[in-house]
Amino acid sequence: MQSSFNKAGVKEDVDISVDLGGLKLKNPVVVASGTFGYGLEYEDFLDISAIGAVIVKGTTLEPRSGNPSPRIAETPAGMLNAIGLENPGVDVFLKEYLPRLRDKGVTVIVNIAGNTVEEYARMAAKIEGNEGVAAIELNISCPNVKKGGLQFGTHPDTVKEVVEAVKKETSLPVLPKLSPNVTDVVEIAKAAQAGGADALSMINTLLGMAIDIKKKKPVLANIFGGLSGPAIKPVALRMIYQVYKEVDLPILGGGGIMSSEDAVEFILAGASAVSIGTGNFVNPRLALEVVEGIRNYLQEENIRSVRELTGMAVIK
């Protein structure tokens, strides 16, 4: 392996900044919605302003108390969750949390989830003009709420409609988060593009379940939950690869990333940036360790910019 040394024998710095359809990130590693709270919960463990961006917990128009317990279950190399979008609502987020994150210099992406197309649009309108928001991620793929969420993300027509409605209300980059619980993810990605999406976030969790054989009942009170963690990595990689080939939009890719090697795989498959989710629970410093790992990889591979790496493994 060749390192990129300049004439003075000093390792040359590599460029790890990225731009996802107008969303400019100082590094290509973000933390996924629902796995990092509002970022403040993890302040004791790392400098949250050094992360590419923090995608905050899914936010709704009205406060939600979430699903009954048990909400989580550990599964082989992964976990199921059915939190049910517990959050204090968009108004409280903008008033209580956003100013604190802004003061700390955190790059914030707001994840929004609505019951109706109008709710998505209203939330985007409320967020518009608030300083300190870098982008909006559209949660059109939450498997754990009865209304909204997944039902929006599994039909191309509604995906297009939601993205269009939000784009009308905001000047921020909009990233719909795609569900893996579909037959053809490329069709959904194309619908998001037709609606005006600036980039794509993928993937959300896979719908799954676990059963307690002693109680002879589902483990989760919600019966079904979203599967995440290393168990879903091959599925996520495959979907990102497919979409990268067919759709000309930057991809924020994730699904079970536990190391910088995993992250590089996602970038090689077509992701412009990566999201760390369940891995945060195992190692709260993972996001920044992945940033360093990507930097080292680029130096070792003699690649000047992480942007050159995107899609390099895709066979045309």
Partner 1 sequence: MPTLEKGLVILHNRLARDFYEIELVAPLIASSCKPGQFVHVKVGGTMDPLLRRPLSIYDVDKKLGSITLLYKVVGRGTELLTRVGVKENIDIMGPLGRGFSLADNQHVLLVGGGVGIAPLVYLARAAKEKGCQVTVLYGAEKRGELVAFERLRKLEVDLMVATRDGSAGHKGLVADLLHPKFLPPKIDFIYTCGPEPMMALVKKYAEENGIPGEVSLEEHMACGVGACLGCARKLKPDDEYYVKVCKDGPVFRMDEMVL
* Catalytic residue IDs: 142
- 204 lies in the site for partner 1, by CB under 8 A: no
* Ramachandran class of 186: left when φ > 0, alpha when ψ lies in -120 to 50, beta otherwise: alpha
Comparing CB distances to partner 1, the nearer of 281 and 308 is 281
Q: Is the Cβ–Cβ distance between 302 and 11 less than 8 Å?
A: no
Distance CA 179, CA 182 (A): 7
Q: Is 215 an interacting residue with respect to partner 1 (CB under 8 A)? A: no
The reply on whether position 37 binds partner 1 by CB under 8 A is: yes
Compute the C-alpha angle 180/201/310, nearest 5°.
Answer: 105
Using CB under 8 A, which of 13, 45, 223, 261 touches partner 1? 45
Choice between 67 and 310, CB closer to partner 1: 67
What phi and psi values does residue 197 have, to the nearest 5 degrees? -60, 145
Binding footprint of partner 1, residue count (CB under 8 A)? 35
Stretch that binds partner 1, among 80-88, 165-173, 189-197, 298-306 (CB under 8 A): 80-88
Instruction: Please give the structure tokens belonging to residue 68.
Output: 């009954």
Strands 251-254, 200-202: pairing is parallel
d(CA 263, CA 211): 32
Exactly one of 22, 89, 196, 284 binds partner 1 (CB under 8 A); which one? 284
Among 79, 232, 236, 287, interactor with partner 1 by CB under 8 A: 79
Interface ranges with partner 1 (CB under 8 A): 34-37, 41-42, 44-45, 57, 65-67, 69-74, 76-79, 81, 83, 86, 229-230, 258, 278, 280-285
